[in-house]
Structure 1
Amino acid sequence: MKPIKFCDTTLRDGEQAAGVVFSPEEKREIVRGLAKAGVEQAEIGIPAMGEEERAVIRSIVEMGLPIQLSAWNRALKEDIDASLLTGVNWVHLTIPTSDLQIKAKLHMNRQEIVSMIRRAVSYAQKFNLGVSVGFEDASRAYTPFLAELVLSLYSDGIRRFRYADTVSVLQPVTVREKIRSILGECPEDVELEVHCHNDFGMATANTLSALEAGALWASTTVTGIGERAGNASMEEVALAWKHLYGGRTGLDTIQFKELAELVSAAAGRPLPPAKPIVGTMVFTHESGIHVDGMLKNRETYQSFDPVEVGAEHRFVLGKHSGWKTVAHILRQKGVRPERELSDELMREVRLEADRNKRLIEPDELMKLLDGVRSTRTVPDLQDEE
């Protein structure tokens, strides 16, 4: 199985999320982090937006990072001209492909769309630019038309195509069928990229299904940030592809946590504690049964080692904790656990958690222990174990 590749669009689709604005320095830091993580390509902006945007894109190009940089364009000569001013050597050209969008947005028909994108491709190729073509609203397009479009552009020298679930109407079964149908009509060296949105919470699942069906590229964003409900998350796709599908990527996943925190801070959108892969609570355990199992063998309640993503397990105290958790934390504090105190101490732990509706910190546990000890005559608990 070939390793899948990633085209990160955090600086394009990610910044299109309502209210998100990355500063020039934040954009450079994000691309630096993507390159460090081994991401193959980054879509770094829309040059047609204006000179300010082009200046930032130029500054990223001038960094000389080991990552392919691409600019996003409509299938228009003026957009390509704007990209040429930035110094990028790769452009992504997008065109509506569903009958709904073809008519509503451009007042055209399918054949006019074919002519329009082929003209744009030909113009970009005059400047020796690498070109990928994006099929906007592909998930609502007539699939045989998409296959015909691929073949037409293939004859023009294009090998890379993006299948976009623009309004998030796919589910894993249908995307698998559609991707297989298109690739079944195409030469083997066609590289299909899938770009999924998350309105129904299926962006990662749909992306994985498309990859399983033969797509080579995953168009993702860090943490899944993007238009509306966002995009497929790079972290989720990469780890699921490895652990659930037995696939390979070229990414250094240990960089994920730092990269996610960088993008989250730059976007002004705090990471949800339970965000898969990179959330602060993903490897945090409170339940007594779970902690007991993990103290015996970490694999009892983990599907992969958090070290893979630059994180670590954390055992915390709360309403559902058991004595094994308490004893573990006491040992970490240099205190010998006394089983004869367990019932009273556990009762105090649960009462405290109920009162405050939060976790109990280790220092708070020590105070609860002192309170229990003060009501009984017990041996010195400070002896070494």
Structure 2
Amino acid sequence: MKNTNNFLRKNTLHNYTLKNDSEPNLHKDIFPYSEIPKVTFNQVQYPMCLPDDIWITDTTFRDGQQSMSSFTVDQIVRLYDYLHELDNGSGVIKQTEFFLYSEKDKEAVRKCMSRGYDYPQITSWIRAVKEDLNLVKEMGIKETGLLMSCSDYHIFNKLKLTREKAIDMYLSIARDAIEHGITPRCHLEDITRADFYGFVIPLVNKLMKLSRDSGIQIKIRACDTLGLGVSFNGAELPRSIPAIMHGLRYHTNVPSSALEWHGHNDFYAVVNNSTSAWLYGCSSVNCTLFGIGERTGNCPLESMLINYVQLTGKGKNLNLGIISEISSYFEREMNYNIHSRTPFIGSEFNVTKAGIHADGLLKDEEIYNIFDTEKILNRPIVVAINQYSGFAGIAAWINTYFKLKGDSKISKKDPIIAPIKEWIDKQYSNGRTSVIRNNELRNFINVHYPNLINRGCTEAI
């Protein structure tokens, strides 16, 4: 169910002017540094406003790649192909962004551009300097991210500028981009530590005026650089995502379609925060495959695809089954270690070891599986066997491993279960502590019950 905006509203902008303070506002009452940051509340409640259209943008080749060994050109092209296959023409994964600084970067972009895919569209990312803008022009890319740091931590302590000079610099590069036919995508770095009404709103209002004057829709990316954002309605700025999204839409008239959220996972909240951005009026959330990225990483793209389907009910055009293939590629070709319990992609994300859960699976798979993981993600539910699995666990393992269906399935009361359990119990009574491996169980069953394998599919899991 979508929100409607059939309320009479005065179409004027709030006149928040730049506070060009001589000293930085570092919000030390909220970010004392020697202590854990504080979440403060003012109990202001903002209305949810899920846009009519929401989507995902990708930064695997930009922010994500910085956290790993440098990707090869072939790896970049293959991952770009995978993103295209995953999107499957739906336009849900709308864009992906690239660096342009090295010859390898440029070669990878050229090869990806030669694919001619509609989605994901190819964009770039640069610093707010004219030399970098020349790279975008040379590559013929029509949209680029422009770094616009907006907290005083960056403006005063990193860039060594005043707020006024920072705005002048940002507006200058945005104008230059527009003059060259390039759409600016303004990355408001560290927005969750910024002076929202004293800097962010005045900056965005100037950018929106430039947008109106030029006829080019400038995009605004709100960057939660340190993962400090919180999704709680009633929390105060600068950390409140509902307040940030409402403020950008209401005080600057940025349309939802031009709003983007970029989060990090430093406080274990990146998926909830990104979802909150959608719910409070932002059309686009920025992600990486498997959440790779600086420090604790970015928002996992696969998680937001699942949330996209949960929020919209639209998932038929996505090729979610290929996620498992992409994760295998990461581990095999890029030496990336995916924790076994990572949702949707880990080797054990839908593995159960508890006997009581296995008993439920025997009765009805839906009792203990989050959804039909075999159909949607090409990952059938699996039962792992240990000293606590019991009769039900063994029966469930046999049914899932050998893909026994319908009348071929066995129950925990089947006469073959007791001898198998006796063998397993003996393993642990002799001091074993590890899970019984699939090949061990298969070999035992093959020796003692060879006909069992023929009851199911010829190809086991």
Same fold (TM over 0.5): yes
Structure 1 residues 131 and 259, CA gap change in structure 2 (3 angstroms)? farther
Identity of aligned residues (%): 23
Q: Relative to total residues, which structure has the larger helix share, 1 or 2?
A: 1
Q: Deviations over 1:342-380 (max 9, x none)?
A: 556424324425744333245533666799x8xxxxxx9
Distance 2:415 2:371 in 1: 36
User: Which stretch shifts more, 150-159 or 75-84?
Assistant: 150-159
Q: Deviations over 1:79-109 (max 9, x none)?
A: 0101222232221111110011001222112
Decide whether the 8 Å contact of 1:222 with 1:263 is kept in 2: no
Amino acid paired to 1:6: I
Decide whether the 8 Å contact of 1:159 with 1:189 is kept in 2: no
Aligned-CA RMSD value: 2.8
Q: CA deviation at 1:328?
A: 4.2
Asked if 1:96 corresponds to 2:149, the answer is: yes
Q: Deviations over 1:185-208 (max 9, x none)?
A: 232624211111112221112111
User: Which stretch shifts more, 334-343 or 349-358?
Assistant: 334-343
Instruction: Please list, as runs of the form range in 1=range in 2, the aligned pairs for 1:91-170 lying within 5 A after superposition.
Output: 91-144=144-197, 145-157=199-211, 158-170=217-229
Asked if 1:231 corresponds to 2:298, the answer is: yes
Q: CA deviation at 1:74?
A: 0.7
Alignment match, 1:308: 376
Distance 2:62 2:291 in 1: 12
Asked if 1:24 corresponds to 2:73, the answer is: yes
Decide whether the 8 Å contact of 1:353 with 1:359 is kept in 2: no
Amino acid paired to 1:274: R
Q: CA deviation at 1:282?
A: 0.9
Gaps in structure 2 of 5+ consecutive residues: 3-51, 88-92, 212-216, 233-239, 456-461
Asked if 1:56 corresponds to 2:108, the answer is: yes
Structure 1 residues 350 and 151, CA gap change in structure 2 (3 angstroms)? farther
Q: Given the two structures, how large is their TM-score scaled by the length of structure 1?
A: 0.87
Q: CA deviation at 1:60?
A: 1.9
Ranges of 4+ aligned residues in structure 1 off by more than 6 Å: 333-338
Amino acid paired to 1:41: Q
From 304, 325, 331, give the equivalent of 1:258: 325
Q: CA deviation at 1:54?
A: 2.1
Structure 1 residues 21 and 265, CA gap change in structure 2 (3 angstroms)? farther
Q: Deviations over 1:218-250 (max 9, x none)?
A: 10000000111111101112213433x456577
The DSSP-based 3-state class of the residue aligned with 2:271 is helix
Q: CA deviation at 1:264?
A: 4.2
Gaps in structure 1 of 5+ consecutive residues: 374-379
The DSSP-based 3-state class of the residue aligned with 1:226 is coil
Q: Given the two structures, how large is their TM-score scaled by the length of structure 2?
A: 0.74
Distance 2:318 2:444 in 1: 46
Alignment match, 1:35: 84
User: Which stretch shifts more, 169-178 or 250-259?
Assistant: 250-259
Alignment match, 2:347: 280
Amino acid paired to 1:66: D
